[in-house]
């Protein structure tokens, strides 16, 4: 169905590149495979390398070591769409992005967007809760190169999440459980014209229909 160059501050973060995956899959597996769906034109990088990262020593209780060791999922280079998140692939997601922390959406950057990308969308899904959607945001400018922690850029459109509120819903699995979460960046070949607060199913359908390539990262959180 589907499967944010501005400077911004990133708190308590280490970044890692995500793997390209098929933008048309319902929920792509983290296989590290590359694909371009709508055309075979080689992807071009619409961002620059001028992103600067500012780190702080501030950390919430229980966050030490949450990010894991950074690693490259595609070590041979950036010839395909990729993303970075504040945690390593399949590692523990920092508490600040959950209901036990600050409930902030994480900073996410992208590069290697395919030719024809008009805008970018991001979605966050709980894979253990019947695809419970924590966040869908569209209308992100490709040239921005990413979105900051807790940021909602001017012009962006957020859907209602599965909780029924507009915007990011912090990760919050039942106590005593560990859930896996998918963070996906979608390159779209047409703009999403839906209104702010559109229901999540409608937004996901629109994003899926416009997606030409996607890349994703997964992480875990337990309570």
Q: Is residue 8 part of a domain?
A: no
Q: Is residue 120 part of a domain?
A: yes
Q: Is residue 169 part of a domain?
A: yes
- Containing 94, the helix (H) or strand (E) segment is none
- Span 62-79, pLDDT tens digits: 454 444 444 333 434 445
Mean of per-residue pLDDT scores for the chain: 77
CATH code of the domain in which 211 resides: 3.90.280.10
Does this model's pTM top 0.85?
Answer: no
Q: Is residue 5 part of a domain?
A: no
Long-range contacts of 65-71, Cβ-Cβ distance < 8 Å, separation of 24 or more: 65/92, 66/91, 66/92, 66/93, 66/94, 66/95, 67/12, 67/13, 67/14, 67/91, 67/92, 67/94, 68/14, 68/92, 70/14, 70/15, 70/16, 71/16
Q: How many domains does the chain have?
A: 1
Task: Please give the residue range of the domain that contains residue 189.
Answer: 16-222
- Span 185-222, pLDDT tens digits: 999 999 999 999 999 999 999 999 999 999 999 999 99
């Amino acid at each position: 169905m589907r499967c944010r160059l501005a400077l911004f501050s990133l708190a308590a973060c280490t970044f890692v590149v995500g793997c390209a995956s098929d933008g048309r899959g319902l929920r792509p597996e983290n296989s590290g495979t590359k694909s371009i769906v709508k055309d075979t034109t080689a992807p071009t990088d619409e961002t620059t390398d001028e992103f600067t990262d500012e780190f702080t020593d501030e950390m919430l209780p229980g966050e030490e070591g949450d990010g894991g060791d950074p690693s490259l999922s595609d070590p041979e280079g950036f010839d395909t769409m990729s993303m970075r998140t504040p945690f390593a692939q399949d590692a523990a997601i920092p508490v600040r992005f959950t209901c036990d922390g600050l409930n902030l959406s994480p900073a996410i950057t992208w590069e290697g967007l395919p030719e024809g990308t008009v805008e970018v969308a991001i979605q966050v899904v709980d894979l253990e809760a019947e695809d419970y959607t924590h966040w869908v945001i569209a209308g992100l400018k490709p040239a921005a190169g990413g979105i900051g922690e807790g940021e909602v850029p001017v012009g962006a459109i957020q859907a209602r999440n599965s909780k029924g509120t507009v915007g990011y819903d912090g990760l919050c699995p039942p106590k005593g459980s560990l859930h896996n979460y998918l963070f996906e960046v979608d390159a779209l070949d047409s703009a999403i014209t839906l209104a702010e607060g559109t229901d999540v199913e409608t937004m996901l359908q629109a994003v899926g229909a416009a997606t030409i390539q996607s890349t994703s990262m997964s992480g875990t959180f337990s309570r």
